[in-house]
Structure 1
Amino acid sequence: MHHILLAEDDSVMREYLTRALERSGYAVTAVDRGTAALPLIETERFDLLLTDIVMPEMDGIELAQRAGDIAPEMRVMFITGFAAVTLKAGKTVPQAKVLSKPFHLRDLVMEVDRLFEMESVPHRN
């Protein structure tokens, strides 16, 4: 089972996303800010960091950069409602997927599923 670390400051959205991902078979650890996510990344193994970009204390981009230093094998997916921030995220963490709000939960689960399916496909040289 894949383990997802969700960093989302909006409590309703955090609960909504957690339930949808858990119903789809993922283990989810949810926190309300980037500064709460970092200690978990240092002590636990996560397959995916799913993070809002705009959060207090530490934004999702900085969180992803610091997480990449700690756990470079962890995948990153950003969620945001700000188009301009999407461009910054794509330039700063180019390997990350960016999902813009509003999105349907089905779309989120499909993107997460696709992300994990890619790792199970053998790479051709």
Structure 2
Amino acid sequence: MAETHVLFVEDDDVIREALQLSLERDGFAVTAVPDGLAGLAAFRADQPDVALLDVMVPGLDGVSLCRRIRDESTVPVIMLSARADAIDVVLGLEAGADDYVTKPFDGAVLVARIRAVLRRFQHSRALDGTGPAEAAGTPPGGVLRFGDLEVDTDGMEVRRAGAPVPLTPTEMRLLLEFSAAPGSVLSRDRLLERVWDYGWGGDTRVVDVHVQRLRAKIGQDRIETVRGFGYKFRG
């Protein structure tokens, strides 16, 4: 079985070298580079399985690099930030990142996050009925219709008024979770557990920003905010 290839973009030499060694000990193949332009070149040359991007790197910052990667690929992206500042978090997620981790972080937690995001990505790419439909609780097989919105749970495709709607794997899993329970209120904690595979809890801003991105693609009115409880898919 081929090693999972991680692209790691970090300008701090000590952190870059230490984390590269740590990830390699955990069985990952790692390409580690010190700036965003080198990161973009390595991404295009190596086609990694997952990208770890520090927010503040020279040449091309992590958020801009994430946007460039997302323009070309749905590969999972995890942002790394030295601050838990809400602006850093939201900018990274709005750029298309699937998750973020705040420095300093525990190596075991980061590895768990990497493996979780890879599981989500692999499930979302699977077309044999064992992908996100099963994992996220969506009825396997068939096309679900909600007005002009069609969700093909076999082909992992979404259409709105007949036009394809491009979703990232995380957005697709989120939509599948909503479409499995139209009219029901889903808490942020449940969505973190079911969509992000967080068995240990997590920051609900990840949910909020992804819901915002999904609304922009499928229609603002389809997902209702239920204050104090979570979200409800109106269908």
* Counterparts of 2:99 and 2:113, CA distance in 1: 9
TM-score (norm 1): 0.89
Identity of paired residues, percent? 30
Deviation at 1:117, TM superposition (A): 2.4
Q: Please give the root-mean-square deviation of Cα atoms over the aligned residues, in Å.
A: 1.5
Whether the 8 Å contact between 2:76 and 2:121 is mirrored in structure 1 is: no
Structure 1 unaligned regions, length at least 5: none
Q: Give the one of 90, 95, 98 matched to 1:92.
A: 95
- Greater Rg, structure 1 or structure 2? 2
Whether the 8 Å contact between 2:52 and 2:80 is mirrored in structure 1 is: yes
Q: Secondary structure at the match of 2:32?
A: strand
Task: Determine the structure 2 residue equivalent to 1:110.
Answer: 112
Task: Determine the structure 2 residue equivalent to 1:123.
Answer: 132
Task: Determine the structure 1 residue equivalent to 2:80.
Answer: 79
Q: Give the one of 64, 67, 71 matched to 2:69.
A: 67
Aligned length in residues: 123
Structure 2 unaligned regions, length at least 5: 124-130, 134-152, 154-235
More helix by share: 1
1:23 and 2:32 matched? no
Deviations 1:20-78 (A, max 9, x none): 111111110000001111112222211111010011221101001111223x1311000
Misfit runs of 4+, over 6 Å: none
Q: Secondary structure at the match of 1:56?
A: coil
Q: Secondary structure at the match of 1:113?
A: helix
* Counterparts of 2:113 and 2:44, CA distance in 1: 25
Q: Secondary structure at the match of 2:92?
A: helix
Q: Secondary structure at the match of 1:99?
A: strand
Amino acid of the residue matched to residue 94 of structure 2?
A: K
Amino acid of the residue matched to residue 74 of structure 2?
A: E
Moved more, 106-115 or 6-15: 106-115
Deviation at 1:92, TM superposition (A): 2.7
Whether the 8 Å contact between 1:54 and 1:60 is mirrored in structure 2 is: yes
Moved more, 36-45 or 72-81: 36-45
Change (3 A) 1:120 1:63: closer
* Counterparts of 1:69 and 1:90, CA distance in 2: 14
Change (3 A) 1:83 1:13: same
